[in-house]
């Protein structure tokens, strides 16, 4: 019996070997090193209590589910499909990790890169103007949330804000991009020293901002393929078609043609709307439009076959063909 228990433990460990367990990141400095801009007690509570709670709650929420083997990016990117617990705690962990990483005592800070400096000058006029705009955004965020400097899919800089622990990677955000600087405007970030004076906290925070770290994030973000995913995700017609395709094709793989028989007209309509929609600028090319035309024809054929009450085998073949073309479309979006 003892050996069986040991074996079960071994199997459980092996089975979960890819399971994700999130950990609280260590700060690069001690809590008192951020003073006088942020007091040691605030840093300690913020890091060891608030951030630790996001980590603990996230681990608890994903334990024993398929989310255990998914990346933090995936958990956030598809936030609209997640429970509030996963959405809030995945965001809480990511946002705070980014926040700490960009903070350093003055003596430990490194300089802004020429590339980020140029991008800021071109878009905001000067670094000081950017700070003013970010402060305005942070002050105007009602209640708890974040202000962001992010890289958008067209590789520009943009400012946005989000409520609670949301961020621009999440599909629940209107403005999407990769955040490179986040400003925590929850009261737990500043209340002990600054009480209700959020503006004073924001001014102090700039003294702790390590522009060398923000620059490294900028350099990584403009090369990140996540920008393409964010751009595709902002093409509503593609998302709409994908949904109906998934909900009709996948049942057909296991012999259930009923969803396709019921929704073939909807599939055709979505394919037509997709063909006449305007793709995001960087994806707009002839090969893509050709593939969308073939996809529409394939959906037209499927609808015709359904109206003729064709046999399951014929419909299975037809939807598989359309699904192949849709994969081609998705592939062209990745090139």
- What residues make contact with Fe ion under the rule CB under 5 A? 184, 186, 189
Which lies closer to Fe ion via its Cβ, residue 101 or residue 184? Answer: 184
Give how far Cα 180 sits from Cα of 10, 46, 63, Å. Answer: 41, 20, 29
Q: How far apart are the C-alpha atoms of 62 and 16, rounded to whole Å?
A: 12
The minimum distance between CB 44 and Fe ion, in angstroms, equals: 13
Helix (H, G, I), strand (E, B) or coil at 87: helix
Minimum CB–partner distance for residue 77 and Fe ion (Å): 21
CB of 191 to Fe ion, least distance (A): 11
Going edge to edge, which strands form the sheet with 157-163?
157-163, 145-151, 178-184
Nearer residue to Fe ion within complex by CB, 116 or 185: 185
Work out how close the CB of 146 gets to Fe ion at its nearest, in angstroms, rounded to a whole number. Answer: 9
**What is the number of alpha carbons within 13 Å of residue 121 lying toward its C-beta?**
7
How many residues comprise the chain?
335
- By CB atoms closer than 10 A (0-12, 13-18, 19+), residue 313 is exposed
**Which CB atom, from 166 or from 184, has the smaller least distance to Fe ion?**
184
Among all residues, whose Cβ is closest to Fe ion? Answer: 184
Whichever of 189 and 299 has its CB closer to Fe ion, that residue is 189
3-state secondary structure of 182: strand
- Report in angstroms how near the CB of residue 213 gets to Fe ion at its nearest: 18
Q: State in angstroms the smallest separation of the CB of 49 from Fe ion.
A: 10
Distance in Å from the first CA to the final CA of the chain: 55
Alpha-carbon span 293 to 210, nearest angstrom? 50
For Fe ion, the closer CB: 51 or 176? 51
Dist CA 71 CA 56 (whole Å): 16
147 or 283: CB nearest Fe ion: 147
Task: Evaluate the omega torsion of the peptide bond into residue 71 and state whether it is cis, within 30 degrees of 0.
Answer: no
For 224, half-sphere exposure in the C-beta direction (CA atoms, 13 angstrom radius) is 23
54: which residues sit within 8 A by CB, 6+ positions away?
88, 89, 92, 93, 96, 165
The least CB distance from residue 145 to Fe ion, in Å, is 10
Around 198, how many Cα atoms within 13 Å sit in the side-chain half-sphere? 20
CB of 164 to Fe ion, least distance (A): 11
């Amino acid at each position: 019996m003892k050996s069986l228990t040991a074996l079960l433990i071994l199997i459980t460990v092996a089975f979960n070997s890819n399971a994700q367990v999130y950990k609280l990141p260590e700060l690069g400095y001690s809590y008192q090193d951020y003073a006088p801009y942020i007091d040691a007690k605030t840093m300690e509570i913020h890091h060891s209590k608030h951030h630790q709670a996001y980590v603990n709650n996230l681990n608890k929420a994903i334990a024993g589910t398929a989310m255990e083997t998914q990346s933090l990016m995936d958990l956030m990117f598809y936030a609209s499909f997640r429970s509030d617990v996963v959405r809030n705690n995945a965001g809480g962990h990511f946002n705070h990790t980014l926040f700490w990483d960009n903070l350093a005592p003055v003596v430990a800070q490194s300089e802004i890169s020429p590339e980020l400096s140029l991008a800021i000058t071109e878009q905001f006029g000067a670094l000081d103007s950017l700070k003013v705009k970010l402060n305005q955004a942070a002050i105007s965020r009602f209640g708890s949330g974040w202000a962001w400097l992010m890289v958008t899919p067209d590789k520009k800089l943009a400012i946005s804000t989000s409520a609670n622990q949301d961020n621009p990677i999440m599909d629940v955000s209107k403005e999407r991009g990769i955040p490179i600087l986040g400003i925590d405007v929850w009261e737990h970030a500043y209340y002990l020293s600054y009480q209700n004076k959020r503006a004073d906290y924001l001014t102090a925070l700039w003294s702790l901002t390590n522009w060398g770290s923000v620059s490294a994030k900028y350099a990584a973000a403009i090369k990140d393929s996540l920008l393409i995913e964010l751009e595709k995700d902002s093409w509503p017609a593609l998302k709409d078609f994908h949904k109906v395709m998934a909900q009709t094709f996948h049942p057909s793989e296991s012999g259930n043609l009923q969803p396709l028989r019921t929704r073939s007209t909807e599939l055709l309509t979505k394919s037509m709307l997709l063909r006449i929609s305007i793709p995001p600028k960087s994806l707009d090319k002839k090969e893509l439009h050709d593939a969308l035309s073939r996809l529409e024809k394939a959906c037209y054929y499927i609808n015709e076959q359904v109206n003729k009450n064709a046999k399951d085998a014929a419909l299975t073949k037809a939807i598989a063909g359309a699904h192949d073309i849709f994969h081609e479309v998705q592939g062209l979006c990745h090139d």
